[in-house]
Amino acid sequence: MMIRKFKFLLPLIFAVSLLISFQTKATTDPKDKALLTILKYVLTQGHYSPQEIDDTFSENVYNRFLESLDPAKRYFLQSDIDEFSAYKKLIDDQINSEDLTFFYLVYERLTQRIEESKPYYKQILATKFNFDNNDTYDVDYTKINYPKNVEEKIKVWHKQLKFSTLSRLNDKITIENDKKKEDNTYTVKSFDELEKESRETTLSNMDDAFIRIQELTYSDWFSTYINSISEEFDPHTTYFDPSVKKRFDISMAGKLEGIGARLQKKNDYTKVSELISGGPAWKQGDLEVGDLILKVAQGNGEPLDIVGMRLDDAIEYIKGKKGTEVKLTVKKIDGTISVISIIRDVVELEETFVKSSIVKKDDRTFGVINLPKFYIDFDEKNFRNSATDMAQEIERLKAEGAEGLVLDLRNNGGGSLQTAIEISGLFINKGPIVQVKYRDRDADVKSDVDAKIHWDKPLVVLVNELSASASEIFAAAMQDYGRAVIIGGKQTYGKGTVQSVLDLNRYHNLKEDIGALKMTIQKFYRINGGSTQLEGVHSDIMLPDRYTYMNIGERDLENPLKFDKVPQANYTIWNNYENFNEAINNSKKRIANNTYFKLIDKNAKWLKKSQDDTLVYLNYEAYKNDLEFHENESSKYDVLRDYKSDLTYTSPLYEKELIANDPDLAEKRTAWHKNLKKDLYVEEALNVLSELKIKPQYHLVKN
């Protein structure tokens, strides 16, 4: 659980985690009962892996629903849970009989408990906190029991509000000290003054939180219950109520404007799950996948806590018009807190297109191709797509004498299956590339039918834990054919499922819109029969990185579909390398003896240890020392940022004329080549590429 991994996030939970509607008691609505029946029908009949709606299913829904409403166990009393538990194994029966008794009971009790809790924060924040006491608090919520009575509940609120205020107090002290450094005549505010200001800021944020609570509707929380049911099938199966469905349609049809990042809800937190290639955050460079966004400020405005806020609401504060500034306070995966300034913009499509570089290594010429996504436009037949662009780029590199090719698919989240198949076909003779399977059907083998091989020289494919979907299909095909050495992280993302959005209104004749369901309907399988689900693609050569010891990807989600196999497709291994295994073993030896890779691995272990530390300090000095410790530990790895290889990267000849007439393109390529020189992973990929040899008889056969 992400909650227990990030111990410095607790202070921000309070301001916005009270996402409970204060509306009047729920009423029996025929639409709600109809939705329950339709949902059951669609999921059991259409989902790729239907679940048996039984007592086990019921218990899982029960736990998921309560955790989604009160993850930090600060509202419900143990007596409430004891009462709710009578329904733990009855939810399946209630689904079958259109009975919403459990939902109504929990919803109304929660509303009652929240209303009772409203005075707590005002009372607690009216009194000065003592930050000299050696208090601590463990934010692993699995270790926390529900309070037995109001007195215990108030103690929980007191500790959490105290920590929330302590976080702000430390920020204010830091600002005051910075002002003193800039201006020696500046009079620093006293500790007591700053403590009072911090409590007032916490109070203001809590007041704002309750205003936002009142804006939520009954439908929002009924949707939470419905999603507790749908997500028991898998984490990608999600219910969209009518308002959410409209926003989804707009986001699919419209241009991406904002910071260019995909966000997901991880318990109380807004987590960066993907950076959109060509987007503002991607270009700015500081925001990373795995970062947790804690606060959002509009320009120089007061930061707003978004921990605990519904994802839709958090996104509303983060996105904005082109040219405006947003400042994100984020919890980095290394345990440090950073403020990242991003100027909102539209995603530049050009940055998602294939680009290549010529690299000189030991008087030999190689090519590096970066493919940020598998793009295609189905509405415009003449619009460029990744397959035709890749073929063209390969021909250009061949013309410049490239002896080998590194194809960089790091952070490529996928895209068009069709182009993944076609790009695979550029490197092999015709044959199967991927298997696609519907429920209760045999897998359908998708093949490349073009016998032409565009690139017959050595190939290395560079991946990481964020290479997903179509990237995994391509990498898996190259690995199964033995066509390329796959080099990168422990494994790729591991998403081997396909979703479709289904309009639920087709199943009823009510006058009201009941929304839609995004549901998993297919699964991908490699030509060797194994699924890419969960397992992804394991690298032939594993390079340590920041995510090595973390669960990043599909396996980090709750309740993902399992890995399984189908029969192997009929294919012939390429088998034209003279020293495939030798090149791999040589690389493993280099990596084991490389000082920088050793340091990266050490850093990765420390990151994991830091995430597993769930104890927070309520003593100011202990809190400050703990923060400084993490900052000092993080600084030990700054040397990794200073690394620079002796390789030379240049644009291919065709692009040099374009660069001469386009200063913006020139600036982008200069920045890319600068980053390539500092890229340890590309350098090792080129080391492998330079060693790979094609069998002489292969060239004889071709000639």
Task: Give counts: helices (H), strands (E), the chain.
Answer: 21, 22
* Three-state secondary structure string covering 295-312: EEEECCCCCEECCCCCHH
Rounded to the nearest 5°, which phi and psi values hold at 306?
Answer: -120, 5
SS3 491: strand
DSSP 528-551: TSBB-TTT--B-SEEPP-TTTTS-
- 265 forms beta bridges with 270
CA distances from 335 to 278, 291, 630, 631 (A): 27, 10, 6, 8
Task: Give helix 653-660 / helix 386-399 axis angle, nearest 10°.
Answer: 110
* Alpha-carbon span 487 to 681, nearest angstrom: 9
Contact predicate 7/615, CB 8 Å:
yes
Which residue's entry shows tokens 């420390």? 606
SS3 84: helix
* Alpha-carbon span 547 to 584, nearest angstrom: 22
Contact predicate 263/271, CB 8 Å:
yes
Length of the chain, in residues:
703
Rounded to the nearest 5°, which phi and psi values hold at 557?
Answer: -85, 160
* Alpha-carbon span 324 to 343, nearest angstrom: 6
Active site residues per annotation: 469, 480, 495
Strands 485-488 and 459-463: parallel
Rounded to the nearest 5°, which phi and psi values hold at 487?
Answer: -130, 135
Which residue's entry shows tokens 């959005």? 501
* Alpha-carbon span 3 to 558, nearest angstrom: 13
Which residue's entry shows tokens 């996504």? 373
Contact predicate 578/693, CB 8 Å:
yes
Q: What's the CA angle centered on 28, arms 26 and 30, to 5 degrees? A: 135
